[in-house]
Amino acid sequence: MLVAALVWGAYGWQPAEGGRAFRSPYLAEVGSRYADTPIARFHYIRAGSGTPVVLLSPGGTSVIGWKDQFEVLARDHTVYVVDLPGQGYTRLKDAGFAFDLDAMTTAVGAFLDAVGVRRAALAGNSWSGGWALAFAQRHPERVTRLALLDATGLDLPGTWMWESLKIPVIGELAVKLSTGKSTVRSMAEGMMVDKRRLTDGLLDEWWAPMTFHDNIRATYLLERRLDWAQTERALPATRTPTLVLWGRQDTVQPVERAHRFAELLPDARLQILDGCGHAPQLDCPEPVNRHLRAFFTDSR
* Three-point CA angle 23, 213, 54, nearest 5°: 65
* Angstrom distances, CA of residue 123 to CA of 102, 207, 281, 296: 18, 22, 11, 10
- CA 265 from chain center: how many Å? 21
Residue 9 is predicted with a pLDDT of: 67
Contact 253, 157 (CB under 8 A): no
Count CB neighbours of 28 within 10 A.
9
Contact 120, 54 (CB under 8 A): yes
Domain boundaries, the chain: 26-297
Per-residue pLDDT of the chain (300 residues; tens, 9 = 90+): 767 777 666 777 788 899 999 999 999 999 999 999 999 999 999 999 999 999 999 988 999 999 999 999 999 999 999 999 999 999 999 999 999 999 999 999 999 999 999 999 999 999 999 999 999 999 999 999 999 999 999 999 988 888 888 889 888 888 998 889 999 999 999 999 999 999 999 999 999 999 999 999 999 999 999 999 999 999 999 999 999 999 999 999 999 999 999 999 999 999 999 999 999 999 999 999 999 999 999 644
* 149 φ/ψ angles, rounded to the nearest 5 degrees: -105, 110
The H or E element containing residue 150 is none
The H or E element containing residue 179 is none
Superfamily of domain 26-297: Alpha/Beta hydrolase fold, catalytic domain (3.40.50.1820)
Residue 300 is predicted with a pLDDT of: 43
- CA 289 from chain center: how many Å? 17
> Distance between CA 242 and CA 140 in Å, rounded?
12
- pTM, 2 dp: 0.96
Contact 121, 79 (CB under 8 A): no
Classified as helix, coil or strand, 53 is: strand
Classified as helix, coil or strand, 122 is: strand
